[in-house]
Chains A and B, each alone.
Chain A
Amino acid sequence: MTSLQVNALLGTVCLVALVIAALLAARRRETEWKSLPPVRIGGASLSAAALYKISAVLAFVLLPTAAMGTATFKLLEGTHETPACASCHVMQPMVTDLHDPTSPTLAALHARNGWISKRECYTCHTGYGFAGGMAAKLSGYRHLVRYTTGTYEEPIRARTGFDQSSCLACHARTAAFAAVNSHVICISRMVTNEVRCTSCHGPAHPSREDRTPGSPVYDRLMAGVGRDG
């Protein structure tokens, strides 16, 4: 069982308890509480008023907090996975290409060669450290608003340029990187994103033209079919 499945089970238990507590709390008015007989729970006797008050605190304060904790965990952890990115249809061309065994794009090469074998989207599109993670989450909220309200156009385009630090974090330390003269000459401008890795290597994903509805390969990319079918 994955941590997300355990989390979903835990959340479901909280939500079932929340529903029971909310129904109990809303069942009678406060004026009726005092006229009700005490309730026996196990060996203990509890006044009806105390039972309703506990139910209300559970239903409107404690259990919603717990349920939101599990749901937010799903929101934050679940979006690390590539299928979560693919669940928005505008991302399907990128994911199709990522898993295409004949694609020459950087994303496909990284996945195919096992350089980034899991959480492919998240690994490259999130800055490093806590600040990078937070920036990605905030950006994710913006994407969610745009997607769910339909306020976007295909092909989608990045609002800001790709941060080269994601490439350099792995490549800059390698001997192969240092052995290329142009890398040594351009490294300071690569760090500041003035020179892009994709200027020489790339493309990273299917081109904007390919991702435009009506293009010859659009339907294939959206259907999740690789170049060789």
Chain B
Amino acid sequence: MNLKLEALLALVASVITLIHLWIDDPYAMGAYVFVAQPLYLVAGVFYVTHVARRIRVRDVS
């Protein structure tokens, strides 16, 4: 399981979120809503997909 892409997405989203948390600016707010939130979601979905694929390969059922 290589999680480099997921980590990159989460890191970019974290930086945007940090800016939004500390700076009152509509562009920072827009970046959080329209960029960071989807990035977290994509990173999470990719990770869950990895895990699901590993479970299927191991046939733990």
A interface, CB within 8 angstroms of B: 7-8, 11-12, 15, 18-19, 22-23, 25-26, 29-30, 56, 59-61, 64, 67-68, 70-71, 74-75, 78, 83-84, 87-88, 141, 144-145, 147-148
Interface of B is mostly: helix
B29 is contacted by which of A11, A56, A70, A75 (Cβ under 8 Å)?
A75
A70 is contacted by which of B11, B21, B37, B54 (Cβ under 8 Å)?
B21
Interface of A is mostly: helix
| Contact present for B21 and A11 (CB under 8 Å) | yes
B3 is contacted by which of A12, A25, A144, A145 (Cβ under 8 Å)?
A25
Residues of B within 8 A of A88 (CB): 26
Q: For chain B, give the interface size range.
A: 20 to 34
| New A-B contacts (11) at CB < 8 Å, excluding given A19-B10, A67-B40 | A12-B18, A15-B21, A22-B6, A60-B44, A60-B47, A68-B17, A74-B20, A75-B32, A88-B26, A144-B26, A147-B26
Q: A74 to B2, alpha carbons, bound, how many Å?
A: 33
Residues of A within 8 A of B54 (CB): 30
Residues of B within 8 A of A145 (CB): 30, 34
Interface string of B31-48 (1 = CB under 8 A from A): 011101100100110111
| Contact present for A68 and B47 (CB under 8 Å) | no
Q: A19 to B18, alpha carbons, bound, how many Å?
A: 11
Residues of B within 8 A of A60 (CB): 3, 6, 10, 43-44, 46-47
What are some 9 contacts across the A-B interface (CB < 8 A)?
A: A11-B18, A15-B21, A26-B2, A56-B6, A60-B6, A60-B46, A71-B32, A147-B26, A148-B26
Q: A74 to B33, alpha carbons, bound, how many Å?
A: 12
| Contact present for A68 and B37 (CB under 8 Å) | yes
B24 interface residue (CB < 8 Å to A)? yes
B61 to chain A, nearest CB (A): 19
Q: A19 to B13, alpha carbons, bound, how many Å?
A: 10
| Contact present for B10 and A64 (CB under 8 Å) | yes
